[in-house]
Each structure stands twice: as structure tokens, then as C-alpha cells.
Amino acid sequence: MNINQFITSLNVKPADAIVMQKKFFGMLDHYVIYLGQINRSHTFVANYTQGVRVISNHEITQFLQNYVPTKVDRFPGRPNERGAAVQRAKSLIGQRAYDFIANNCEHFKNFVHKGIASSTQVEKAGAGLAVGGIALAAIGAKSESTGATVAGIALAALGLIAIAAENSDN
């Protein structure tokens, strides 16, 4: 499917986010924001390890070879608010402060959609680390394994730090 067919068949509008997962065992969602047509070309922007940047049609086509669009996360605002959302996306182009925990592609998508950078994926991962770490620490304490206890405490602390960092911005 080419880009025009993709946009048309899914009725993608400016400020909508395309949610993608890796084709094989994709556990995390990846978000790409559609900006609309600029100079007669469909234009997308995303926050990835290189920072926030415009993704060319060629790159999107390459991206679609490894990732499957699972849904379109529609812009939640009113139609007349789409322009402001697109401007929020454009305002961050060139920013190179990507961070998996504090500034990832979901943070970017939520900033564009709601004006607040947040990530439920970070919260869920932090909670999983915290619970798993507590369980490991308890097992280590019960079996008198200092290594397991220390590793469990470290994992739990890492999870709690991720949760705290995510919630400190909101």
C-alpha cells in the first residue's frame, strides 16, 4: 500500500497519530503524527532516538516494512483545534532530547494531542518493574539470597523512579 492509499483508506487527518507496532513481537507502541499535505506531499513527524523530526514519505514506506499500523489515534479535540495541535508538533521539530522514560514518542503524541507530555507505557513499565522487584526481593529475603534481595530492591527502586518521573511532569 502506498502512502496516498494509506492516508485515504484510514481517513487520516492532520494531528492524528498513527500507532504502530514492530511486525514480530512488538511490545511497545510507536507513534507518528500526520501533519497533512505540505508542498503536495504527505508529511509526518515523530520523536525517535534522533529527536523530533519530519519523516519523509520514503522513510514512512521503509518504516511500514518493519512496523504494522495497528490503529489511528484520532486527535481528540475539535476540528478547529487541529491547527494548534499541528503547530505544537512543528514547534518541537529539531529537538534532540529523546529519552525512553521522560521524552519518548508517546510523550510527543500526547503533547501534540493534549498539550501535556505523558506516557502510559512508561507508567505500566515502571509498575511492572516495581512489582517484579518487590517479589524478587521477597523471594531473596525468604531464601536468604543477598544477591536476589539486592537485585529486587534495585528493580523496585527503578520502577518507582520511572513512575515518579512520569507523574512529576503531570
Model confidence pLDDT, tens digit, residues 133-151: 889 999 999 999 999 999 9
17 and 95 inside one domain: yes
Total tally of structural domains belonging to the chain: 2
pLDDT at 25: 59
Q: Which domain holds residue 156?
A: 122-168
* Average pLDDT of the segment spanning 101-116: 88
Model confidence pLDDT, tens digit, residues 152-164: 889 888 888 777 7
49 and 99 inside one domain: yes
20 DSSP β-pair partners: 30, 69
109 and 139 inside one domain: no
44 DSSP β-pair partners: 34, 55
Q: What contacts 104, CB < 8 A, 6 or more positions away? A: 47, 98, 119, 121, 122
What is the per-residue burial (b if ≥16 Cβ within 10 Å, else e) of 80-92? eebeebbebbbeb
> Distance between CA atoms of 35 and 54, rounded to whole angstroms?
9
Question: In which residue are the cell numbers 507530555 written?
Answer: 117
pLDDT of residue 24 exceeding 70, the answer is no
pLDDT at 23: 65
32 and 101 inside one domain: yes
User: Using 50, 70 and 90 to split pLDDT, how confident is the model at 20?
Assistant: confident
51 DSSP β-pair partners: 48
